[in-house]
């Protein structure tokens, strides 16, 4: 697989060695940024605890900080849960729409040989089918409001 990608990358003017070095450098930089950010946040939390313990006492400060962090965790969990439910609902609507389209297509293809034998229906059915297809395509291209 890599043997195929090398000539393709050469055609595109990409130097894979340079890309690899750049990616390793960026990964190292982002790891260092993340590490020092986490340390800084830890010190901010410690400073907040010290200030709060001077005001209300150590045990009360610990309980307040624990409650605050648990509340933040609960809010993040609820937001994720709401987002997941919305994603599932959209997926179910898409599946329902897809199933309905498949059902209509199957029904139309099943009825086609019978309808093709009637000349009047052929004359009226072809334009009607074209209009129905146009209406379906127009509804799908419209963004949801």
Q: Look up tokens 């005001």; give the residue.
A: 55
Per-residue pLDDT tens over the stretch 13-35: 556 667 778 889 999 999 999 99
Q: Residues 48, 50, 52, 58: is their CA dihedral positive or negative? A: positive
Does residue 101 have a pLDDT over 80? no
**Contact criterion met (CB below 8 Å) for 40 and 33:** no
Per-residue pLDDT tens over the stretch 74-92: 999 999 999 999 999 999 8
Q: Average the pLDDT over each of 21-25, 49-53, 138-142 and give the range with the smallest value.
A: 138-142
**Contact criterion met (CB below 8 Å) for 5 and 15:** no
Q: Count of CB atoms within 10 A of residue 38's CB?
A: 10
110-116 long-range contacts (CB < 8 A, ≥24 apart) are: none
Does residue 141 have a pLDDT over 60? no
What element of type H or E holds 61? Answer: helix 58-116
> What is the Cα–Cα distance from 26 to 85, expressed in whole angstroms?
35
Q: Band of the pLDDT at 145, cuts 50, 70, 90?
A: very low
**Contact criterion met (CB below 8 Å) for 116 and 122:** yes
Q: What is the DSSP letter of 117?
A: T
């Amino acid at each position: 697989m890599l043997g195929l990608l090398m000539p393709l990358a050469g055609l595109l003017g990409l130097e894979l060695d340079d890309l690899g070095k750049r990616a390793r450098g960026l990964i190292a930089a982002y790891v260092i940024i993340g590490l020092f950010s986490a340390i800084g946040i830890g010190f901010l939390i410690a400073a907040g605890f010290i200030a709060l313990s001077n005001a209300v006492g150590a045990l009360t400060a610990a309980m307040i900080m624990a409650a605050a962090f648990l509340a933040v965790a609960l809010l993040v969990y609820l937001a994720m849960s709401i987002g997941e439910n919305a994603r599932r609902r959209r997926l179910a609507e898409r599946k329902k729409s897809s199933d309905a389209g498949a059902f209509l297509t199957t029904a139309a293809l099943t009825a086609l040989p019978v309808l093709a034998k009637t000349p009047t229906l052929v004359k009226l059915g072809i334009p009607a089918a074209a209009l129905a297809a146009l209406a379906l395509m127009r509804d799908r291209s419209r963004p949801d409001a």
